[in-house]
Structure 1
Amino acid sequence: MDKRLLDILCCPVTKSPVRLLAENELLALNRAIAADQVLNGAGARVTGAFSGGLITRDARTIYRVEDDIPVMLADEAVATSQLTDFPRS
């Protein structure tokens, strides 16, 4: 992802800056999705694995990245609080 774009993106709800999701974070998220344990901001079950993502700097919210396009919609966001084995900094 273009660094200039990453520098200006922020969470649409909290305005917190975002960073790219690390590989171990992506693996933990996709394990939880595969186990049918993840809901999005709208309360719908997340069924498809993420190929990439952005996470807020406070590590509370993940946004999907599809074809290098960030999906910065609150209803599509995933709260990390529901991910039991998510790496914590």
Structure 2
Amino acid sequence: MDKRLLDILCDPVTKTPVKLLNRGQLDALNREIAQDAVKTVTGANVAAALKAGLITTDGKVIYRIDDDIPVMLADEGIGTTQLRDFPG
């Protein structure tokens, strides 16, 4: 992802800056998605594994990246408090 774009993106609700998920975080998230254990902040199941994602710098919310396009919609956020053993 372009560093300039990453520098201007933020959580649409809290305005907290975001950074790319690292490999450990992405793997941990996808393991739980495979177990059908992950929901968006609105309660919808996350059905498909993420190829890439962004996480707020406070580590509270994840947003997926689809085809190199960040999906920065408040309803699509994934709260990290629901994830077991999520690396910070």
Indicate whether the TM-score tops 0.5.
yes
Q: CA deviation at 1:34?
A: 0.3
Q: CA deviation at 1:85?
A: 1.5
**Deviation >3 Å, runs of 4+:** none
Q: CA deviation at 1:42?
A: 1.6
Aligned to 1:3: 3
Report the aligned-residue RMSD.
0.5
- TM-score, normalised with respect to structure 2: 0.98
Give the total of aligned pairs: 88
Aligned to 1:63: 63
- TM-score, normalised with respect to structure 1: 0.97
Gaps of 5+ in 2: none
Does 1:45 find its partner at 2:45? Answer: yes
Gaps of 5+ in 1: none
Q: Return the letter of the residue paired with 1:50.
A: L
Q: CA deviation at 1:41?
A: 1.6
Q: Return the letter of the residue paired with 2:83.
A: L
Equivalent-residue separation in structure 1 for 2:74 and 2:30 (angstroms): 19
